[in-house]
Chain A
Amino acid sequence: MTFLVGPWWRANRFVLSWLGIATLLTASAGLVVAGQLQSVASTLGCAIPSQAGIDDAGCLAVPAFRDLYAPATAMGLLLAILPIFAGAVLGSQMVAREIDEGTARFAWTLEPSRLRWFVEGIIRNGLFVLMVGSVCGVVGYALVATENPPADPGGTFLGYGLWGPILVVRGFLGFGIGVLCGGGMGRTLPALLITLIVSAALVVSALVAARTFYPTEIRMFGHGDSPAEALIIAGGMNLAPDGRLIMPMEALSHAPPGLAESDPNAASAWVDLHYPPASTVIVGSNMADVQVHEGVVLLAASALSLTAAALLVSRRRLA
């Protein structure tokens, strides 16, 4: 099986070049920023555990580090979006473009089995998505790690969804949905629009599902603090003596009458003493499990879409 890589490249060179160059540029820029962050962190000796969300702690207290933080965050976001975008673009055009331009008539008459044509297309484009996702996943890891020295994002929820294999999985999700939409609609641009909307909705749903259904724990953290390694489910709450998590306003309502109005600081201290600040979290050691579950759900959605697309392609009538 030759997989017709040459003709595939020539027929899609603009799209593949665009995605390839975008990935390489973003990844290179990400690596440069990560290198600068690391250099600032090691030179200025700010490598103390950082407390995300607090600007004046850890490396974030160093202006040179803080200046690099915003571009690093932007790069991280771009790297997280690129795989799913690449998957959506390649998926929505794989079948749709051939139908739209009428070349499917040529391909499907030459190829005795449309399924083989389809599978070869999936492999070629899927490998490209894998490549984009892997590059983004690795560089994303480097960025998240250097943004939060000396923490190791592995085995924690630090920058969850911005690095690692989940980016490849999201790329495959975009690809699967794209192939289905493209095969069904026969037009690339509207298929791409719908693919992006559906894929984004599925990714958000998977995140919400993980937050909703995964076992959580209550951890004691001051307001404004948050554990770098954990995934916050409900933050900024207070722990009641009966073990319930309650809103700060409710905790304040239990303060001695008139205290909140006469001395807000004293009231706040009273609340912290009797109703200590706490949050519901999924602890960092569960990150791998959460990622596997989310990955399996998204991969299943992708596989289902591809199966449905294969059925559509095998039965599709050409205009």
Chain B
Amino acid sequence: MILEAHGLSKRYGRKDPWALFGIDLSVAPGGITALVGPNGAGKSTLLRTWMGFERPTRGHVRVSGHDPTRERSAAISQVGYVPQTSALYRDLTVADHLGFAAHYRPRTFDRPLAERRLADLGVALDARAGTLSGGQAAQVGLAVALGLRAPVLLLDEPLAGLDPLARREFIDVLVDDVRGTGATVVLSSHVISDIEQACDRLIVLGVGRAMLVDSIAHARDSHRVLTGPAPTGTEVVAPLPGSNDRTLVRADEFTALPDAQSPTLEDVVMGYLAAARGGE
């Protein structure tokens, strides 16, 4: 497993609520994994812990077998990271950011690749980061992260605030790159359509705990949506919000359930988000 979390718990202060509590999960190498969860579920905290930006209160995490708090250098060398909000130096040009990455990762940073990506997206290298739109800043962050040629990419809601076209371009660039390099990506996002386009695996994080870790295809196959009351003995995930008495249950296509339908990815995600909220 390339990314692991074992008994991971995190809280910021003694009196603060747990941001993550007893998380056990692992991500196999390759592919794009969606990280979904309600606001405050701890998605950013989980990604930042893998980055070594947060120290676990309990438990531990591993990146390519390295503990990012104890073997930071080895762990960080394996990772490219795009944060939720732009962290670029607003007074520096895009080219300066590429130069910065080339300086600190001289052996792995593929500057021509990053420049090509940015040229394809129409981001000028001599533009100051402070003058870029939110979408362009996200693209610069992604281009730098992709240029690092890191085996792991952690993307913390990079699509938030982007218009549909910018989101589509971002995802296209990401998918294209991952196909070529075989990198492992964890993409935190709320947008189901983006997840369907880009991801092949799904982690649903409840408030502080992992509710579902599965491939997207299997997650859909192993759940059904019932209309009306669930028969006794059915493993109910949660009633689906805003729907006419529809309930998400755990059951495969061979289970005999009257009026059961195959769920959409949105049904699965909404069901687990509702379950997470109900279990708070």
Taking Cβ atoms with an 8 Å cutoff, the residues of A that contact B are: 319
Interface residues of B in 121-168 (CB under 8 A from A): 130-131
Query: Which A-chain residue is minimally distant from B85 (CB atoms)?
Result: A102
Taking Cβ atoms with an 8 Å cutoff, the residues of B that contact A are: 90, 130-131
Query: Which B-chain residue is minimally distant from A319 (CB atoms)?
Result: B130
Residues of A within 8 A of B130 (CB): 319
Bound CA–CA A319/B129 (angstroms) = 11
Residues of A within 8 A of B131 (CB): 319
CB contacts between A and B, total, < 8 Å: 3
Q: List 3 A-B contacts (CB under 8 A).
A: A319-B90, A319-B130, A319-B131
Bound CA–CA A319/B130 (angstroms) = 7
Give the Cβ gap from A237 to chain B, nearest Cβ, in Å: 55
Residues of B within 8 A of A319 (CB): 90, 130-131
Bound CA–CA A319/B131 (angstroms) = 7
Query: Which B-chain residue is minimally distant from A102 (CB atoms)?
Result: B85
Give the Cβ gap from B74 to chain A, nearest Cβ, in Å: 34
Bound CA–CA A168/B130 (angstroms) = 39
Bound CA–CA A319/B90 (angstroms) = 10
Query: Which A-chain residue is minimally distant from B132 (CB atoms)?
Result: A319
Give 3 closest A-B pairs by Cβ, nearest first.
A319-B130, A319-B90, A319-B131
Query: Which A-chain residue is minimally distant from B130 (CB atoms)?
Result: A319
Bound CA–CA A319/B86 (angstroms) = 13
Bound CA–CA A14/B130 (angstroms) = 28
Bound CA–CA A319/B137 (angstroms) = 13
Give the Cβ gap from A256 to chain B, nearest Cβ, in Å: 73
Residues of A within 8 A of B90 (CB): 319
Give the Cβ gap from A98 to chain B, nearest Cβ, in Å: 16
Query: Which A-chain residue is minimally distant from B90 (CB atoms)?
Result: A319
Give the Cβ gap from A314 to chain B, nearest Cβ, in Å: 22
Bound CA–CA A226/B130 (angstroms) = 59
Give the Cβ gap from B137 to chain A, nearest Cβ, in Å: 11
Bound CA–CA A44/B246 (angstroms) = 95
Bound CA–CA A252/B131 (angstroms) = 71
Give the Cβ gap from B132 to chain A, nearest Cβ, in Å: 10
Bound CA–CA A272/B130 (angstroms) = 71
Bound CA–CA A319/B91 (angstroms) = 12
Give the Cβ gap from A59 to chain B, nearest Cβ, in Å: 55
Bound CA–CA A224/B87 (angstroms) = 64
Bound CA–CA A319/B85 (angstroms) = 14
Give the Cβ gap from B86 to chain A, nearest Cβ, in Å: 10
Bound CA–CA A212/B130 (angstroms) = 48
Bound CA–CA A198/B38 (angstroms) = 51
Bound CA–CA A319/B128 (angstroms) = 12
Bound CA–CA A319/B134 (angstroms) = 10
Bound CA–CA A76/B90 (angstroms) = 43
Bound CA–CA A319/B133 (angstroms) = 9
Give the Cβ gap from A186 to chain B, nearest Cβ, in Å: 10
Give the Cβ gap from A100 to chain B, nearest Cβ, in Å: 10
Give the Cβ gap from B248 to chain A, nearest Cβ, in Å: 37
Bound CA–CA A232/B237 (angstroms) = 89
Give the Cβ gap from B213 to chain A, nearest Cβ, in Å: 35
Query: Which A-chain residue is minimally distant from B131 (CB atoms)?
Result: A319
Bound CA–CA A279/B130 (angstroms) = 60
Give the Cβ gap from A185 to chain B, nearest Cβ, in Å: 13
